[in-house]
Amino acid sequence: MDNVIRRRTPGARLARAVLYTVLILAVLFYLMPLVVMLFTSIKPLEEIRAGSLLAIPLDPTFAPWAKAWGEACTGMRCEGVSVYFFNSIAIVVPAVLISTTIGALNGYALTKWRFKGSELVFALMLFGCFIPFQVVLLPMAQTLGWLGLSSSRAGLVLVHVIFGIAFTTLFFRNFYVSVPSELVSAAKLDGAGFFRIFWRILLPVSKPIIVVSVIWQFTQIWNDFLFGVAFSAHDTQPVTVALNNLVNTSTGVKEYNVDMAAAMIAALPTLVVYVLAGKYFVRGLTAGSVKG
């Protein structure tokens, strides 16, 4: 047996080396655009024109980052993305919290407090996940106008909450199916009500799926452009719209380093979220995949 293991060891090591080589090459390939963006964002404009995209900066500078961060836009000219960065934060945080909370309650009610027609309700909510966003632009704009929320951050929060509920309900419903119903039945016999059971039993075991919901919603809302450009005014635009305005605004000289710095600033929050919580996202997706 020892001889067999020794004979197989070199082949296993070779296979592992090949696997790691392929993985490293794949990582380098997918990181190349990010590296190009980073290099370009810290190069002086003269160096960009004279060198290649992959050249390491010879005289690195963070002046493009400072200019990209900039100040608020005045008139039709955009001087930076700072104000719009905080607009996105003001939109993302309440939208994520509200849609995740409602999705958790919906998933709980649809699995542990089933009522007549609950499957139909879930099917309709699931259908909402597949409605193209472009189809609802006009009716949503009319609704926001009736509510007095047109061109406001509150209006964008409402839009993202409405579209997020379908996905968060799906996440939590599939997760809560794996939670034994006997726990809820026992709590009901002890006199616990709807919200007490949710708070004491369901919520403590929901950490994996909460992470999934938060990451999913955060990424979708932060990267949204369509709703941002359709339902916001000049001073309430999210960072994605401001980035588009900055890139497409020219005063005679195209500043590629400033454009790349602004793109990096806009992408940093989602990169940080995935770096810090990416492994929990995968665990949360598979946590409710097997019942029992």
pLDDT in tens, 227-278: 999 998 888 899 999 888 887 765 667 888 888 999 999 999 988 888 887 7
- Mark whether 189 and 238 lie in a shared domain: yes
- Mark whether 191 and 273 lie in a shared domain: yes
- Mark whether 50 and 151 lie in a shared domain: no
Which residues of the chain are under the pLDDT cut of 70? 1-8, 71-79, 249-252, 282-292
pLDDT for position 266: 92
pLDDT for position 156: 94
pLDDT for position 250: 59
* Domain membership of residue 112 as a residue range: 71-287
- Mark whether 77 and 56 lie in a shared domain: no
Chain position carrying tokens 């726990």: 183
- Mark whether 151 and 219 lie in a shared domain: yes
- Mark whether 92 and 43 lie in a shared domain: no
43: in domain: yes
Domain boundary among 36, 61, 86: 61
- Mark whether 9 and 92 lie in a shared domain: no
Q: What is the mean pLDDT of the chain?
A: 84
The pTM score is: 0.83
pLDDT for position 144: 92
